[in-house]
Amino acid sequence: MQIEVTAAREVADECPLKSFRFYKTKEFSTGFYEIKTGAKNIRTPWWDASVIYGSNGEVLKRLRTLKDGKIKISEEGELLHNENGIAVSGDVRNSWAGVSTLQALFVHEHNSVCDALKKNYPELDDEEIYRHARLVTSAVIAKIHTIDWTVELLKTDTLLAGMRANWYGLLGKKFKDTFGHVGGKILGGLVGLKRPNNHGVPYSLTEQFVSVYRMHSLLPDNLQLRDISATPGPNKSPPLIKEIPMKNLIGLEGEKTLTKIGIVSQIVSMGHQACGALELWNYPMWLRDLIPQNLDGSERPDHVDLPVLEIYRDRERNVARYNQFRRALLLIPISKWEDLTDDKEAIEVLEDVYGDDVEELDLLVGLMAEKKIKGFAISETAFIIFLLMATRRLEADRFFTSNFNEETYTKKGLEWVNSTESLKDVIDRHYPEITLKWLNSSSAFSVWDSPPNTSNPIPLYLRIPH
């Protein structure tokens, strides 16, 4: 699909962004951590599954059952909703179908860990069970992200080996399971190091990581709802019932629709629909008129044109333009548009917008236009940041280094993490009928039954930024 941003008449010969009204980035204190430079955030920068548990005590209090460490879920296995129709979950701001589905799935995971801990350690009280279960669930998510979904996004044998080495080390899983962490981060991997290493700066996800993680082009305009009652055919493809516009699956109205669909249908349907390619002119139209939400999930009056806002945010926050961004990563900058892409139409449009000045190219536009390496869903430029942060998020976190042990996680909890290798394992624990009937791969991130001629057949519901 092609997107056109039309400027107001009075600025038609100037920057199109001037035709929009923007609010400056706000700063909030988290109440538990503040970077010395004064930068603040309302969401935690750690891999702590705050999307499920929340980032402060007030949210957590709403979620807890106060029995056996568990958090709330409906009898039907869906997220609960309050009197205003807002989901009862950790992070409900600007949610959509994919987030809600995974939130519900990992609430089940947390509660199952609680059951296992209660059975093995009956002396633990509610709070102790909760804390151990949260660490275990967070580690499961981190592990899946590292060795399962990242290698599908960057599908090469080298990346598969590299991501597994990040977790297990070059000696491999079997050796590590038998002898523990041996030989430093090269041989033994980052997980289980004796001490965290933040390389001398306060740990956080960098602004550059936010910029390269702008991957909304992966989302479709419609969800293809599948018939899960059907008998699997030779290719295990559930028949299509109907297509639901994605604009009906976001916000408060979207939560109502999801409840009617049911979580099993959500997972199967989303798993059998390929995501979009990260390319120019492939931005979901429903994100052009988005209703933003407050922190509590209530809706705000001003709508958002998200692709325009993404360009604006990078400029506002002084993120380097495409060429300068590449120089900072020691990559070769482009000197002409043909260095960026072979698409003649794209080159014509880039010349129309930026003229001959390649230095003015916005980072996001460059990432979408850039030629892709075979097997990569993302650009080479974005890949460098992904690679650095994939290592940093594990290496700087004490719960994956010095505290990745039985004392912190319990023996049973550590076994739970070590035995989980993919999202398929999590789905199989809670919805074995899905993996038995509809999943035809060892990884839920691989192709289940993707449409033909898709450049990146990764299940769309799994495209969730941290």
Q: Which helix or strand (DSSP H or E) is residue 466 part of?
A: none
**Which residues are part of the catalytic machinery?**
213
In 3-state terms, what secondary structure has residue 144?
Answer: helix
Distance between CA 153 and CA 165 in Å, rounded?
17
Which CA distances in Å does 2 have to 5, 171, 278?
Answer: 10, 48, 13
User: Are the CB atoms for 397 and 203 separated by under 8 Å?
Assistant: yes
Q: How is residue 328 written in tokens?
A: 């900072």
User: Are the CB atoms for 291 and 303 separated by under 8 Å?
Assistant: yes
- Locate all alpha helices (DSSP H) within 272-379, ordered by sequence: 306-316, 322-328, 344-354, 363-369
- Contacts of residue 189, defined as CB under 8 A and 6 or more positions apart, other chains included, come to 165, 166, 167, 168, 169, 176, 181
User: Are the CB atoms for 183 and 172 separated by under 8 Å?
Assistant: no
Amino acid at 361: L
Distance between CA 9 and CA 351 in Å, rounded?
21
User: Are the CB atoms for 437 and 236 separated by under 8 Å?
Assistant: yes
Q: How is residue 8 written in tokens?
A: 């107001």
Q: Which residue has the tokens 């295990």?
A: 236
Distance between CA 96 and CA 279 in Å, rounded?
22
In 3-state terms, what secondary structure has residue 61?
Answer: helix
- Produce one character per residue of 97-121: b if its CB has 16 or more CB atoms within 10 Å, e if not: bbbbbbbbbbbbbbbbbbebbbeee
Q: How is residue 448 written in tokens?
A: 């289940």
- Residues that constitute the known binding site: 216
Neighbours of 301 (CB within 10 A): 6
- Residues that constitute the known binding site for heme b: 216
Distance between CA 96 and CA 62 in Å, rounded?
21
Q: Which of 425, 423, 101 is nearest to 265 (CA)?
A: 101
Distance between CA 110 and CA 430 in Å, rounded?
11
